[in-house]
Amino acid sequence: MSYQVLARKYRPRRFEELVGQDVVARALSHALEQNRLHHAYLLTGTRGVGKTTIARILARCLNCETGITATPCGVCSSCREIEDGRFADLLEIDAASNTGVDNVRELIDNAQYLPTRGRYKVYLIDEVHMLSKAAFNALLKTLEEPPPHVKFLLATTDPQKLPITILSRCLQFALKPMTPERVVGHLQHVLQAEAISSDEGSLWLLARAAQGSMRDALSLTDQAIAFGQGQLREAEVRSLLGSIDRDLVYRVLDAIHAGDAAALLQVVAGMADQSIDFAGALGEIITVLHRLAVAQAVPDAIDNAEGDRDRLLNLAAALTAEDLQLYYQMAIQGRRDLPLAVDPRAGFEMTVLRMLAFRPLNPAVVGGGGGVVVSAPTQRAPVAVAASTASAPSVAPVAPVAPVMPVHVVATVPVPEPVPDAVSATMPEAMQPAVATSTWTGARWADWVEHSGLTGAAINLARNALLVERSPTRWELHVSPRHQMLAGGQALPQLQQKLAQQFPDCNIPLEFVEPSEETPAQRRQRLQNERLVNAEAALRQDPVVKALMTTFDATLVADSITLSH
């Protein structure tokens, strides 16, 4: 007997065998059990999600010799003939090759005759959106009031192209794309039945490559089995699919986080030497950034199915949420713009270099001098106002212009700084072991953190912690339980090592409790907010801004104010 491909061999024959379409299966099963049958069903969804399979199961349920049932026997002659594609009363029509009105008229003429073998004459019209307008019009009356022995099963990947008159005559079911988790689970079942060895990484690669299609996943699995000589291994499947090694993605993100442009370009050059698909590489970066965001929000939601949980959690602890969201947006935009680049490598390099160039500035400089940049668009003309802390003569008001002409005016506006906290501002004193008996305040701890020399995950943990003195020889680090994940990896050991170097006589354990004062990160945000408030007040008093608001009927949008350093 010739080999049968996996997609056909493991095609579901009953509703309970369907994978990922529980809602549709439940609705149709209940309709069959209660004999509440519609005369026309429309199944929509992307390729390979089970439209034709469900239609054939429904035809089997309607014509099983045991009676109309949600669980056809599968052994009677009708069930076997439908499975083999030779049942006389199941007419499968490919609308892509039978688009004309004459084809539909032939179908209508045939529909009036009683079934030859079965209980119902079932018309399965695949890719029904390909019918011509005249063919749809010819089908309308029969589709609305068919003979009692006729059932229409329509399937399409593009329901938007169907006339509303057709949609209103059908009971519509939208089939969902398969999630990678469901695909992996089904592939494990199939490979176990086929006695084929595999590793989990290879299955995840196949599941992602299938892009929601179970049929594509099984077809790719067939190809991978042949390529791997009867087994599935991640390296071989990655080579077959042309997928990027996940390690390269982490090396790219590590180089960006470290601010190492040379290392970043070296990784990109290595990817080019391997003929990596750079569009796919950006897609992998987006996937990893998404998983990093999930790891920061809910660390327990990350499993080790792809073998990178520890590395993922370490990187999630090292990156701030703001950095992560910025990188994600840049990766999305870079992938969108990739076709516009001179070549894919150049587009990829510009995307990752943009991430490197626009990393947020070190929070240590937040309290320093700076200005604001304001974008104040109006209905008449967009107006941009820039401000600096440096003193400069005011710019004279601009005369009115036509509404279609944009006006860009630069004004220098002194921005008052927030009043600093009343604490010792001299960092060398704050870092001396001799002050171990002094009270640690939130501001003093923030000063110590920013001058400690800590980097990466360790400083991120310190900025979200508060040092509390319990006794001259025992201090505690308080971290909110919400930020427990920040203490993972090497972050806590590095922070405790730095503290032990500065204060060797103190025992400093970590406690997951809500800090009683603001942490350095919270203090940074407060100072930032105060500077924005001061900047807005200064701008509203500036004569240039006042003139612009009067001349152009402009409104100062507070959310558009950003601070420059």
Q: Which residues make up the CATH 1.20.272.10 domain(s) of the chain?
A: 246-357
Q: Which residues make up the CATH 3.30.300.150 domain(s) of the chain?
A: 363-565
Q: How far apart are CA 421 and CA 452, in angstroms?
A: 20
DSSP 140: H
Question: Is the Cα torsion angle 231, 233, 235, 241 positive or negative in sign?
Answer: positive
Q: How far apart are CA 406 and CA 147, in angstroms?
A: 67
Residues in the chain: 565
Q: How far apart are CA 242 and CA 211, in angstroms?
A: 15
Q: Is 495:507 a contact under the CB 8 Å cutoff?
A: no
Q: What is the pLDDT of residue 335?
A: 92
Q: Which residues make up the CATH 3.40.50.300 domain(s) of the chain?
A: 6-174
Q: What is the pLDDT of residue 360?
A: 60
CATH number of this structure's domain 246-357, picked from the four choices 3.10.20.30, 1.10.3720.10, 1.20.272.10, 3.40.50.720: 1.20.272.10
Q: How far apart are CA 48 and CA 216, in angstroms?
A: 6
Q: Going by CATH, does the domain composed of 6-174 fall within 3.40.50.1820?
A: no
Architecture of domain 363-565: 2-Layer Sandwich (3.30)
Cβ contacts of 425 within 8 Å, gap of 6 or more = 447
Helical residues (DSSP H) of 176-233, grouped into ranges: 180-194, 200-210, 214-227
Architecture of domain 180-241: Orthogonal Bundle (1.10)
Q: What is the pLDDT of residue 297?
A: 84
User: pLDDT in tens for each of the 565 residues of the chain?
Assistant: 578 889 888 899 889 888 888 899 999 999 999 989 999 999 999 889 999 999 999 999 999 999 999 999 889 999 999 988 889 899 888 888 877 888 888 888 888 889 988 899 999 999 999 988 888 888 888 888 899 999 999 999 999 999 999 999 999 999 999 888 889 999 999 999 999 999 888 898 898 888 889 999 999 999 999 988 888 988 888 888 877 777 888 899 989 988 889 999 999 998 888 888 899 899 989 989 998 998 888 887 777 766 678 888 888 888 888 888 999 999 999 999 999 999 999 999 999 999 988 866 544 333 344 444 444 333 333 444 444 334 334 434 444 433 433 544 444 455 555 555 544 444 444 444 434 444 678 888 898 898 888 887 888 889 999 988 877 777 888 998 888 878 877 788 888 888 888 888 777 888 888 988 889 988 888 888 888 888 888 888 888 888 888 888 888 887 777 766 5
Sequential DSSP letters for 240-283: HHTPPPHHHHHHHHHHHHHT-HHHHHHHHHHHHHTT--HHHHHH
